[in-house]
A = this chain, B = another copy of it.
Amino acid sequence: MFSGDVVQISEITRSDFEAFWPAFKEVVFAQETYAFDPEIDFETAYNLWCLSPQKAYVIKENGLILGSYYIKANASGPSSHISNCGFMVSAKSRGKGVARKLCLHSQQVAIELGFTAMQFNSVVSTNDVAIKLWEKLGYEIIGTIPNAYKHKKQGLVDSFIMHKQLRT
């Protein structure tokens, strides 16, 4: 995987997010994985994904953006030691291990930022590929929210809350 290619993860810039925007819109519009407004506009998305979080990154292969993630504290004060990330891979770049690469990177960044755990608040229960990957990487389902997500094709489905202790 990626052999011979130049794959790089770097902090996202506004022009990176502009380049990623069609892929982002496609994922959100599909309404199969993300709990974002499917009609979200660029500035709102840029703020949500790149500016509000503590950091956001892109992964590029020979300059082409394959995916992105953000990292932030999942809550404040007495719960600020738990991080939260959102990962997004463009439809074209699936099945190449991009999400795995991003998640491993995010865990390193989380530890560098002082977080001790990572929590995902809304993993749609029908998103088998994501769930299997997160489980393989050590995340556990710690809660199930009944009928949490209006899946465009499957109707109301549950969402999972997943969690991993990164260090003590």
Say yes or no for A42: interface residue by CB 8 A criterion.
Answer: no
* Contact status A35-B79, CB under 8 Å: yes
Say yes or no for A149: interface residue by CB 8 A criterion.
Answer: yes
Query: Known contacts A121-B121, A150-B81, A161-B161: does B35 contact A76 (CB below 8 Å)?
Result: yes
Question: Contact string, A107-135, partner B, CB cutoff 8 A, digits 1/0?
Answer: 00000000011010110000000000000
Question: How far, in whole Å, are A143 and B121 apart by their CA atoms in the complex?
Answer: 11
With beta carbons under 8 angstroms apart, the residue of B77, B143, B151, B159 that contacts A28 is B77
Question: Contact string, A150-168, partner B, CB cutoff 8 A, digits 1/0?
Answer: 1110000001010101000
Say yes or no for A93: interface residue by CB 8 A criterion.
Answer: no
Q: Can you list 26 A-B pairs with a CB-CB distance of less than 8 A? A: A28-B77, A31-B78, A34-B77, A34-B78, A35-B79, A37-B76, A37-B77, A40-B77, A75-B121, A75-B148, A79-B148, A79-B150, A82-B145, A116-B147, A117-B146, A117-B147, A119-B145, A121-B121, A143-B143, A143-B144, A143-B145, A143-B161, A145-B161, A145-B163, A146-B163, A161-B161
